[in-house]
A and B are shown apart, each in its own frame.
Chain A
Amino acid sequence: MEELNHDTGTRLVKRGLAEMLKGGVIMDVVDAEQAKIAEDAGATAVMALERVPADIRRDGGVARMSDPEMIEDIKKSVTVPVMAKARIGHFAEAQVLQSIGVDYIDESEVLTPADEAHHIDKWKFEAPFVCGATNLGEALRRISEGACLIRSKGEAGTGNIVEAVRHLRSIFGDIGRISQADSAELFDWAKRLQAPLPLVQEVSETGELPVPLFCAGGIATPADASLVMQLGAQAVFVGSGIFKSEDPAPRARAIVEATTNYLDPSILAKVSRKLGEPMTGIEMDSIETRLAERGW
């Protein structure tokens, strides 16, 4: 038989799934029933977790990886990819998630970090990883550790889009400035961003992040989705925004429509009608724990 060079877990294969998720909505779900609602509404993937960020914020305590049984239940109930979260630096949780066939692992600041200095060495895994970032340096550090997808962190569980907007503007602002920089300035950029020089040089040359960039943290309405897509996000994660709202199914569907048609305000106006109350939301000044500050 001819040599076919059959390979799994390659960079292209891991990055490929992120490409397929572009223009879509990834929804947080806590059980099989919610997962079905999300899939029915057109979610491109679901994020399986025990408590949505709004509840983690309310309950306090240590937030950990979800029960594998619950993740498997969700996997059985839907046909779209299933993601799950591991704590920052908790490579044993990530190993468990990989062993049960989770399609994407989120090394997430929404859970309580397990390591105060080190993120997971994601190159060691065949399963792809997504990581959060608040700025370009953080994004490039995660990519250097093997993340194949970056999401802006925003501030999870608040229903407030302001932090996600800040993070996207910061990342795209620096990408713009780096693309204008001359080659000598890139050494200084690498130092300031605390990011590997070859990745900084790549950003300068291509004018974009080396992996896809999605948005998370605070999306609660169709217009929020349109806002972050117009700012340059390539897809959105919606956590508490759907299942903490008054009527999750129509809101989920409306956010899917809005993410596709983000440039068409007339469609946004149409899908934003009669969705019931969005999640209540929290002002930034009134929160005690800033999840986005976790990770480095």
Chain B
Amino acid sequence: MKVGVLALQGAFKLHAEALERLGVEALEVRSVEDFNSSEALIIPGGESTTMSFLLESSGIFESLQERSIAGMPILGTCAGMILLSSKIADGRSDQKPLNLIDIEVRRNGYGRQINSFESDLFIEGFESSFRGVFIRAPLVEDVSEKVEVIAELNGRPVMCRQDSTIVTSFHPELADDDRIHAEFLEMASNS
């Protein structure tokens, strides 16, 4: 299976390295052609405003919306979560969410860099805790009943799934722990 990692900006290399450790070919996606050769996609952390603008100028935005509605497996971390959400608070007024998971997020909802943190998370189906690294992370303010909450922190969802889309407000690619990537690949190979 060829898994694309959106490489317009952000921590895409770390995701690609995680995929390669799990024995999967990672493809850096910068154009519609790259995207069309990917069977699943990871949208990494980075600046969501920058990525929004590059998604449109590269033409990937529309193809992404079409294919994900058709069931393409997608993992979005941090900025990826913001882009995939259905509603963005404190974003830029022209920032268009992809609307692929029915959650409302607040950009930098956990605060600025000085409030960025690490914390142990208890993720459904994992035998031991997972170290969540939250960098200027988005806060999930609301989820619809279509969305399954997989992990919470202080009563707020930090990892959610709807159909074949998984999002995290933290950075599994920074954690030196590939369990979330493995889970995503398993979902992708079953779909």
A24 within 8 A of B: yes
Interface residues of A in 15-62 (CB under 8 A from B): 16-17, 19-24, 39, 42-45
B174 within 8 A of A: yes
Residue of B nearest to A75 (CB): B112
Residue of B nearest to A1 (CB): B154
Q: Which of B9, B50, B78, B114 contacts A101 (CB 8 A)?
A: B114
Q: Residues of A within 8 Å of B, CB-based: how many? A: 40
* Chain B residues positioned under 8 Å from A128 (CB to CB): 113
Given the known A-B contacts A19-B11, A20-B79, A257-B57, are A8 and B117 also in contact in the complex, defined by CB atoms under 8 Å?
A: yes
Residue of A nearest to B153 (CB): A4
* Chain A residues positioned under 8 Å from B57 (CB to CB): 257
Q: Which of B8, B13, B30, B47 contacts A45 (CB 8 A)?
A: B47
A74 to B180, CA, bound (A): 37
Residue of A nearest to B122 (CB): A2
B54 within 8 A of A: yes
Q: Which of A13, A23, A43 contacts B118 (CB 8 A)?
A: A13
B35 within 8 A of A: no
B8 touches A8 (CB 8 A): no
B107 within 8 A of A: yes
B108 touches A24 (CB 8 A): no
Q: Which of A44, A79, A104 contacts B91 (CB 8 A)?
A: A79
* Chain B residues positioned under 8 Å from A127 (CB to CB): 113-114
B20 within 8 A of A: no
B46 touches A23 (CB 8 A): yes
For the residues of A in contact with B, the DSSP-based class is loop
* Chain A residues positioned under 8 Å from B9 (CB to CB): 22-24, 44, 259-260
Given the known A-B contacts A7-B117, A24-B9, are A16 and B54 also in contact in the complex, defined by CB atoms under 8 Å?
A: no
A12, A23, A81, A128: residue with the most chain B Cβ atoms closer than 10 Å = A23
* Chain B residues positioned under 8 Å from A20 (CB to CB): 10-11, 45-47, 78-79, 135-136
Contact with A along B100-131 (1 / 0, CB 8 A): 00000001100011111111111000000000
* Chain A residues positioned under 8 Å from B115 (CB to CB): 8
Q: Residues of B within 8 Å of A, CB-based: how many? A: 42
A10 within 8 A of B: yes
A16, A43, A126: residue with the most chain B Cβ atoms closer than 10 Å = A16
A98 within 8 A of B: yes
* Chain A residues positioned under 8 Å from B135 (CB to CB): 13, 16-17, 20
Number of A-B contacts (CB under 8 A): 125
Q: Which of B92, B107, B116, B120 contacts A5 (CB 8 A)?
A: B120
* Chain B residues positioned under 8 Å from A8 (CB to CB): 114-117
B96 within 8 A of A: no
A256 to B56, CA, bound (A): 13
Contact with A along B35-50 (1 / 0, CB 8 A): 0000000000111011
Interface residues of B in 10-46 (CB under 8 A from A): 10-14, 30, 45-46
B7 within 8 A of A: yes
A24 touches B46 (CB 8 A): yes
Given the known A-B contacts A5-B120, A79-B107, are A23 and B7 also in contact in the complex, defined by CB atoms under 8 Å?
A: yes
B114 touches A81 (CB 8 A): no
Give A residues with C-beta under 8 Å from B: 2-10, 12-13, 16-17, 19-24, 39, 42-45, 79-81, 98, 101, 103-104, 126-128, 256-257, 259-261, 264
Give B residues with C-beta under 8 Å from A: 7-14, 30, 45-47, 49-50, 53-54, 57, 78-79, 90-92, 107-108, 112-122, 133-136, 153, 171, 174
- Ordered by A's residue number, 20 sampled pairs between the chains whose C-beta atoms are within 8 Å are A13-B118, A13-B135, A16-B116, A17-B116, A17-B135, A17-B136, A19-B10, A20-B47, A22-B9, A24-B10, A24-B46, A39-B49, A79-B49, A79-B90, A79-B91, A79-B92, A80-B49, A103-B112, A256-B53, A260-B7
Taking A12-B174, A20-B78 as known contacts, 9 extra A-B pairs with beta carbons closer than 8 A to each other, sorted by chain A number, are A13-B117, A13-B133, A19-B45, A19-B171, A23-B10, A44-B9, A101-B113, A104-B113, A260-B8
